[in-house]
Homo-oligomer: A and B are copies of this chain.
Amino acid sequence: MQIVIMAGGSGTRFWPLSRASHPKQFLKIVGDDPMLVTTYKRIEPLVSEPDVLFVVGRDHQAETERLMAGKDVKIMVEPVGRNTAPAIGLAAAWLDRHGRGGEPMAVLPADHFVAQPDLFRESLQHAAEVARDGSIVTLGIVPTRPETGYGYIERDSASSLGNDVYEVKKFVEKPNLHIALEYMASGEFYWNAGVFVATPKALLEEFAALMPDFYEGLTEVAEAFGKVDFETRLEALYNHTPSISFDYAVMEKTRRKVRVIACDCGWSDVGSWSSLFEARGGDQDEQGNVAEGDTLVLGCRDSFILARSNRWIAAMGLTRVLIVDTPDALLVSDLEKSQEVREVTSILNEKGKSHLL
């Protein structure tokens, strides 16, 4: 199999740690490595280096090259971010052009957390076997709580193919709590982790059918791989391509067989400070605090303290409070309200404080 790692994210949900030049996939927030490196190490046992392809934004090419120095991996650079559909199309076209169109490729976001990498790898390998027949195989994460922040995948139980593989009945948007509780109770729904496996050929057929303009441009770009006018052509294509997710453009519309493999590997998209806090449950002290760096924690409960400056931090009597200290900016927030950090970055933007973004 081959692996495509999508590292185009530019989110500011982890401000003040994440910045425009240093988005989440480059942060060391779970474990000792940047998330992109952890993602790479997670799949390293499955493939050889040349079978790994990164898709990154232009601003993050240098950092990705630095992190992958010495590895014989391929790094493709997008001239501008257009969400996941164009990035996946580009990767599929490159692999197809290089004679690997029939070999299943797994698409993985670079910035997710997996508590049990063994189970994750098992599911990927299983998915690759299934995808050899031309189907698209998604990983369906077994829900552990009625999460309202994820999209779900409904399986068609009657269509069980054995070994936790099902046909997909449909993809559904983020539910409200009531519906999420029903999903959990039914046992028919999985979290959509944005991880799937298909052959590049199958994917290109989908782009031809569902994004014909993009597919046409992509074919021209593919002819220029390795040539001098490649970048110019790619830029021209991206300039005329809308920003659209692969889920929306392909998964929800395709008539091809789409299957789901149930996977219970402790996955999280780590999409907010509070979900990072959950992902780091193993680092908790007896009062449920996670504290990192030069900190003194007195009488606090369930609080999350990241000292990423040379400052000494004392936290006293706090409950469910987030503290993130960096050399030039400090965030102190109720942990439940921490997703509102987008409001902070938008205000910083308005105030022209771009050096803090």
Stretch from A59-67, A72-80, A208-216, A322-330 that touches the partner: A322-330
A223 to chain B, nearest CB (A): 49
Q: Is A318 in the interface zone, CB < 8 Å from B?
A: yes
A309 to chain B, nearest CB (A): 8
User: Which residues of chain A in 13-47 are interfacial with respect to chain B, using CB atoms and an 8 Å cutoff?
Assistant: 16
Task: For A16, list chain B residues within 8 Å (CB).
Answer: 314
Residues A332 and B315 in contact, CB atoms below 8 Å apart: yes
**Partner of A337 from B296, B317, B325 at Cβ < 8 Å:** B317
Bound CA span A63–B301, Å: 41
Residues A317 and B340 in contact, CB atoms below 8 Å apart: yes
Residues B299 and A316 in contact, CB atoms below 8 Å apart: no
Given A298-B344, A299-B340, A321-B321, A331 and B314 contact (CB-CB distance below 8 Å): yes
User: Which residues of chain A in 323-351 are interfacial with respect to chain B, using CB atoms and an 8 Å cutoff?
Assistant: 323, 325, 327-334, 336-338, 340-341, 343-344, 347-348
Given A298-B340, A312-B356, A340-B299, A318 and B330 contact (CB-CB distance below 8 Å): no
Bound CA span A313–B356, Å: 11
Task: For A343, list chain B residues within 8 Å (CB).
Answer: 298, 316
Task: For A341, list chain B residues within 8 Å (CB).
Answer: 314, 316
Residues B296 and A347 in contact, CB atoms below 8 Å apart: yes
Q: Is A311 in the interface zone, CB < 8 Å from B?
A: yes
A212 to chain B, nearest CB (A): 45
Q: Is A353 in the interface zone, CB < 8 Å from B?
A: yes
Task: For A316, list chain B residues within 8 Å (CB).
Answer: 331-334, 337-338, 340-341, 343-344
Residue of B nearest to A320 (CB): B317
Task: For A348, list chain B residues within 8 Å (CB).
Answer: 296
Task: For A340, list chain B residues within 8 Å (CB).
Answer: 298-299, 316-317
Residues B325 and A330 in contact, CB atoms below 8 Å apart: yes
Given A330-B325, A330-B330, A332-B332, A344 and B299 contact (CB-CB distance below 8 Å): no
A315 to chain B, nearest CB (A): 5
Residues A311 and B296 in contact, CB atoms below 8 Å apart: no
Name 8 interchain pairs, CB-CB below 8 A, sorted by A.
Answer: A16-B314, A310-B328, A312-B356, A313-B331, A313-B332, A316-B331, A316-B333, A318-B332
Chain A contacts to B: CB under 8 angstroms: 16, 296, 298-299, 310-319, 321, 323, 325, 327-334, 336-338, 340-341, 343-344, 347-348, 353, 356
Given A312-B356, A316-B337, A317-B334, 8 new contacts (CB under 8 A):
A296-B348, A312-B329, A313-B330, A313-B331, A314-B341, A317-B333, A321-B321, A325-B330
